[in-house]
Amino acid sequence: MSVNIGIFDRLARIVVAAALITFALGYLAPGTGWNWVGWIGLAPLLTAMVGNCPLYSVLGFDTR
C-alpha cells in the first residue's frame, strides 16, 4: 500500500470525519433518527490515518 493522499486531503477528511462522528454521537442534532449515518465518518478517518484511499488507487488518483 503506497501513500496516495496528500496533506490537504488528509486534513479535509479528518474535519469531515469529526463532523460526521459528532453527528453520530448526537452532539449536533440529538434524536433525529438519522444519527447512524454519521458512522460513515469512520471511513474517511481511517483513510486519513493510513494515507491510502482504495478508491483513489482504483481510479488512478494521487493527491500527494
Q: Is residue 20 part of a domain?
A: yes
Please tell me the distance from the alpha carbon of residue 64 to that of residue 61, in angstroms, as a whole number. Answer: 9
Residue 51 structural domain: 7-59
**Is residue 1 one of the residues assigned to a domain?**
no
Q: What is the pLDDT of residues 3-49, one digit of tens each?
A: 999 999 999 999 999 999 999 998 888 888 889 999 999 999 999 99
Q: How many domains does the chain have?
A: 1
CB 10 within 8 A of CB 48: yes
Domain membership of residue 55 (yes or no) is yes
Q: Flag whether 2 is in a domain.
A: no
The reported pLDDT for the residue numbered 50 is 94
The verdict on residue 64 lying in a domain is no
**pLDDT (tens digit, 9 = 90+) per residue, 36-58?**
999 999 999 999 999 999 999 99
Q: Percentages helix, strand, coil for the chain, rounded to the nearest 5? A: 60, 0, 40
